[in-house]
Amino acid sequence: MPLIIQPLGKESVDSEIANIALSNDGEFVTWSTYNGLLYVLSRENNQKRELQLDSFANNLGFISRELFVVGQEEGNVICFSTSFEKVWEISCPGGCELIKCTKNGDLIALIDGTNSLRLINSQGELLSKFSDNELIGLTINENGSAISCWDDEGNLFVLNRNGTIIFKRKINSDVGERIITAKYTQNGILLVSKESLDIPDEGEQHELEFWNPLGQKIRTIGFNSKCVTLAINKNLIWAGLFSGEVFVIDDNNKKLIWKSEYSISSLIAINNDVLVASWFYLFKISKETSDSFWQYEHSGIIDFFKMDSDGNIAILAGNDRNDYTNPSPLIILNPNATPIWEEESDDEFQEEEILEVEHTDIYDNSDDDLKDLLGDDFEQYQSKNDMGEISSMDDLMAAFDEELSLEPKIDESKEEESLIEHLLSADEKRNQPPICNAGNDQVLESGDDGSCTVILDGSSSHDPDGYIRTWNWTSEDGRTLSSGPKLKLRLPVGNHRFTLTVADDDGAMSSDSVSIVIR
């Protein structure tokens, strides 16, 4: 049995959780749901407030102990106090796609619904706007002097607060690259996780790049799978891979310390250890021993995970993506809690009361005891006994045995076989494999350069009794090209074949291939 920890609190919801945020000191917790409700909980007095928004809040972030910003799917960005007083409001065309805030809250960077970057100060004033590309991701350094943003084609820009480009990362692959995630270290180095759709001329397909503030790439580290999340603690870097591996990077060393059966969704460094979110589970992993201190199982897949500055309070939320009938609660944990063995969390066993059994000898005073034993059949027995048909207790027992022998016998082997068939049948009904659809075969004309842009679309794949958990596009030589339902490629003249493999929420997989002919 694994070691586990018990939560400090659970906050039930009537609708799925859309986002969460935690103040730096861990005192205030805020979360939003898809029905448009916004909640704030004070942990000190356990007081909870709620507010109905015009649109649901898909982005939340604290800019001070008692102030937080709310980005809505449709509508403006609003700054509230923890008592729901509106401090300021600023226009956000097309809604808010992503928000990042500096630790001291003096800079708010967001991507709006037009895929443009907007930089805002803590008073709600627009500092600058950057809209040269359709941006999908961003990160900022600790003091807000550098903002990194990127699009879906591998272009990455580093800007200052005025929106001026400090440097631009060059694409290394002819077919195209994708930025998976990026994060600044405490000394200002920008870590960029990238994935190439083909084997690049230089470097590896899955790499973590190190960029200094001058725009120089000073180092790269290759992985066998894409790095989807990063955590930083002083000189330690933690990298979580799509394949479920967790690496720690110290100076020039890369060390595998732990492996999950599922993709790593989030990492948070805590002293020299790391908190790892993977599927329904949260683990605390030791850097020194690579062991799990404890684990916590959530009722939903962990989509959101935050921790306060001191590492004393963590919150997590997510949904099971199955029937959605019972939205999973928000969980509050103490990462430093003393773990217990899992069976210790169950209710204590009650001691069974031992009863004294009164033994009766049916052979003593046999008429009375037999009358109690046989009930209504006693008179029939007595009549036969008077006629001499039953002369002893042995004859009576023989008569009972004869009656039993007349009952049909059950074939135990058939009963066992029937039970096995029933269990197998029930197991088959429990999960059906997903239906994979890689799309229709295509015949396309090349352009003047002898190539053609192709879109592979496997989004029609589905699971009849659950949901698709992972997509994996591979080329004919087995190389992984993408982990999303759609893939954009530029292909030369010739015949090409690609395979899509999907896995459902219960681990069942299926594959389908598509043929592309470029003439």
Average pLDDT, the chain: 85
**Cα separation of 320 and 298, whole Å?**
9
| List of residues 6+ apart from 48 with CB closer than 8 A | 11, 39, 40, 41, 42
pLDDT surpasses 80 at 376: no
What token pair was written down for 366?
A: 């046999």
**Cα separation of 301 and 298, whole Å?**
7
**Cα separation of 190 and 166, whole Å?**
13
- Architecture of the CATH domain 3-343: 7 Propeller (2.130)
Q: CATH 2.60.40.10 region(s) of the chain?
A: 442-518
pLDDT for 367: 55
pLDDT surpasses 70 at 106: yes
Name the band, by pLDDT with cuts 50, 70 and 90, for residue 323: low
431 versus 509: the higher-pLDDT residue is 509
* Contact of 372 with 366, CB cutoff 8 Å: no
**Cα separation of 485 and 389, whole Å?**
84
pLDDT surpasses 70 at 453: yes
Name the band, by pLDDT with cuts 50, 70 and 90, for residue 303: very high
Percentage of the chain surpassing pLDDT 90?
Answer: 61
Q: CATH 2.130.10.10 region(s) of the chain?
A: 3-343
What token pair was written down for 284?
A: 């605390």
Provide φ and ψ at 119, rounded to 5°. Answer: -110, 125
What token pair was written down for 18?
A: 């859309």
Residue 285's nearest CA partner among 332, 339, 206, 330 is: 339
What residue type is assigned to position 129 of the chain? K
pLDDT for 394: 53
pLDDT for 197: 76
353 versus 502: the higher-pLDDT residue is 502
| List of residues 6+ apart from 241 with CB closer than 8 A | 223, 224, 225, 226, 227, 228, 247, 263, 264
What token pair was written down for 258?
A: 């732990």
What's the CATH code, domain 442-518?
Answer: 2.60.40.10
Name the band, by pLDDT with cuts 50, 70 and 90, for residue 399: low
pLDDT for 351: 38
Looking at mean pLDDT, say which of 159-168, 170-179, 486-495 comes out highest: 159-168
* Contact of 199 with 172, CB cutoff 8 Å: no
* Contact of 331 with 298, CB cutoff 8 Å: yes
pLDDT in tens, 3-60: 999 999 999 999 999 999 999 999 999 999 999 999 999 999 999 999 999 999 999 9
- The whole-model pTM stands at 0.68
pLDDT surpasses 70 at 2: yes
What residue type is assigned to position 487 of the chain? L
Provide φ and ψ at 359, rounded to 5°. Answer: -90, 135
Provide φ and ψ at 464, rounded to 5°. Answer: -65, -20
Mean pLDDT of 242-265: 92
- From residue 423, alpha-carbon distances to 119, 426, 430, 464, 509 in Å are 59, 5, 10, 21, 22
